[in-house]
Chain A
Amino acid sequence: MKDRIKDLSGFLLKIWRHPKGRVGAVLIALLIFTAILAPLIAPYDPYDVTARSEKGLAPSLSHLLGTTITTGQDIFSMLIYGTRVSLLVGVVSGLSIAFLGAILGVISGFLGKWADMLIMRLVDVMLVIPTLPLTIVLTNLFGKSYGLIIFIFTLFGWTGLARVVRSQVLIIKKSTYVKAAQLAGASDFHIMFRHILPGVSHLLIMNTALTSAGIMVAEAGLSFLGLGDPTAISWGKMLAEAQSGGALLFGHWWWILAPGIGIFVSVFAFMRLGLALEEIFNPRMRRTSSIRKLWKSMNGAYLQDVFHSMDEEPVPVLQKERVAVRE
């Protein structure tokens, strides 16, 4: 137990010492703080649509980001409340994806045979199902709620992680330290919980941070399309209202910019943390510039790239030189 606490505090210290990790950790702490204490921080009730005299106000000291043109809601308070939906959907989906991906990946890699075949074929099927049309159909069928959105994200999000976990499990399963444990009479249960799960935990932690960031963008998109909970306040919905409410027409740029900054900051924070974790776990990743990595991760090619770099062979520069000298 003492070792565990020491490991954990050492791990947190590593994140803190990492420049990207520190930025991410501080921003995430700030976001969590805002989400929990939203009613205390927000100066007005963001749901209050009765302030008819205060419609479409420009930013001022009493309304830091002005009010909406259509209903006169305080945009700053809406921005603060929007943190709740974004964080909740992002983090809960990220965690449940890690959970599902870990279970299915470990089963697939560890049991092998028919279980492996079944799960990997299921992954192939899931990868070709178009998610957006399916989401529109399902939200119309079962009612619009964030619970459903989290469910859909989880249902389609675990596939990549399961594959990555599976390949790592296959490596650990064949390692000689597992053979040593088997020789000492270890059960499958022992190998699973003492060797394999701790061996893939870094993938799960990193994946949770990175997918959470991606899911926050996706959630904003769905809310913008009106597929989120219509009664909640979210950044995506704020953007949709700004557009339909004529923010562009009246030149109220702050109405559009506020949720945009909210989305940017939260995605940026999780991305930073995820990239920092990646570099802590895999020192070889430090070579690529972070901007290129950020761009790649937005394109979803990131995880593949990470694993490509892992089994990349060092370029045999020396050999070429030796040939040249001989000639």
Chain B
Amino acid sequence: MGEPLILAANLSVDFPVRGALGKKKKVHAVSDVSLTIEKGKTFGLVGESGCGKTTLANLLLGLVKPDAGSILFDGKEITDISQKQLKIVRRDMQMIFQDPLSSLNPRFNIFRIISEPLFIRGGYTRKQMEARVLELLELVGLPASSLHRYPSDFSGGQRQRIGIARALALNPKFLVCDEPVSALDVSVHAQILNLLMDLQKELSITYLFISHNLAVVRDICQSVAVMYLGKVVETGNAQTIFDHPVHPYTQSLLSAVLDVDADNKRERIILQGDIPSPIDLPTGCRFHTRCPNARPECAIHSPELREIESHHRAACY
């Protein structure tokens, strides 16, 4: 196991909401999540919409303050430091967004978009910024002539490259990729993913890769965490989890993946019902309402993550 870049322990965050008759309630977005993200590796975060993936990413980036738990980033605690210090730490973290068009200001040309982080940090002359932007454009494979054009002039894949160039401007150590390819054409997926992998090799960046495309996660991630309703239900080495999933939720997720081979008859696990509300959580194990092999004790006690084998932990009896 390599050196950890991020050590998150027992992270929890609730968002207050007002229910009917002004009753105060809480959305349990992330509860008791612990993660270790190794330096220079890709960590995959998988789960259905609304399970807290993005909130967890926002927590790690320091955009949301956790109600409980701690985050060590590169050996430094970042949950209780001031906004000013956080800004300095955050220079080492950047993000790539799902929709490349809405993440680029349509009124800015490419130079202004990519140089914005440099501009915010300050201390660069116009010449230095221009040189750095050209360097970044070359790194992500865009022509230097793009400099004075606008986001609307580019295709989806090219826009995502611009977003990547902006994220790399300050030489981050940690890059959150929030569904970086799901808004793109399938034909462009591989290009962008290869670019990300090449950049990782070249610049040794650590990725947190959020996706519900399991095939992509399997391809590029070394470690994976599967989330359900704000909790990590299974985590560990990507290959192990994909080969023998232990948690019934992971099993059903994997069984839903489309297979090119039509002869390969697999047993589909189809979950019953809807995902419960994160406001009124089920008692015991959060998955028991939909679990195909739920037992009576699942409704009473919540199982902890326990070691199945080395680098593989799951929260199921």
| A176→B63 contact, CB < 8 A | no
Is B55's CB within 8 Å of the partner chain A? no
| Interface residue tally on B, bucketed by range | 20 to 34
Q: Which residues, 211 to 226 on A, are CB-close (under 8 Å) to B? A: none
Q: Contacts A3-B109, A176-B97, A190-B120 given: A185-B103 contact, CB under 8 Å?
A: no
CA distance A184 to B94 in the complex (A): 7
Spot the interface stretch: B85-93, B270-278, B302-310. B85-93
Which residues of chain B have C-beta atoms less than 8 A from A198's C-beta?
107
B172 to chain A, nearest CB (A): 9
| B97→A183 contact, CB < 8 A | no
Q: Which residues, 93 to 140 on B, are CB-close (under 8 Å) to A? A: 93-95, 97, 99, 102-105, 107, 109, 113, 116-117, 120-121
Which residues of chain A have C-beta atoms less than 8 A from B91's C-beta?
184-185
A130 to chain B, nearest CB (A): 35
A45 to chain B, nearest CB (A): 50
Which residues of chain B have C-beta atoms less than 8 A from A199's C-beta?
105, 107
| B102→A179 contact, CB < 8 A | no
Which residues of chain A have C-beta atoms less than 8 A from B105's C-beta?
175, 177, 195, 199
Which residues of chain A have C-beta atoms less than 8 A from B121's C-beta?
184-185
CA distance A316 to B88 in the complex (A): 49
Which residues of chain B have C-beta atoms less than 8 A from A177's C-beta?
102-105, 113
Which residues of chain B have C-beta atoms less than 8 A from A181's C-beta?
116-117, 120
CA distance A198 to B108 in the complex (A): 10
Interface string of A154-182 (1 = CB under 8 A from B): 00000000000000000000011101111
Partner of A185, one of B97, B104, B120: B120
CA distance A179 to B167 in the complex (A): 12
Is A37's CB within 8 Å of the partner chain B? no
Is A186's CB within 8 Å of the partner chain B? yes
Is B301's CB within 8 Å of the partner chain A? no
Which residues of chain A have C-beta atoms less than 8 A from B214's C-beta?
none
Residue of A nearest to B166 (CB): A180
Is B311's CB within 8 Å of the partner chain A? no
Residue of A nearest to B107 (CB): A198
A and B contact pairs by CB, cutoff 8 A, 22 listed: A3-B148, A175-B103, A176-B97, A176-B102, A177-B102, A177-B103, A177-B105, A179-B95, A179-B103, A180-B163, A181-B117, A183-B90, A184-B91, A184-B116, A184-B117, A185-B90, A185-B91, A185-B120, A185-B121, A186-B120, A194-B116, A199-B105
- Residues on B lying within 8 angstroms of A by beta carbon are 61, 63, 87-88, 90-91, 93-95, 97, 99, 102-105, 107, 109, 113, 116-117, 120-121, 148, 163, 166-167, 169-170
* Given A179-B63, A199-B107, 17 further pairs, Cβ under 8 A: A176-B97, A176-B99, A177-B105, A177-B113, A180-B163, A180-B166, A183-B90, A183-B93, A184-B117, A184-B169, A185-B87, A185-B90, A185-B91, A185-B121, A186-B120, A187-B120, A199-B105
- Residues on A lying within 8 angstroms of B by beta carbon are 3, 175-177, 179-187, 190, 194-195, 198-199
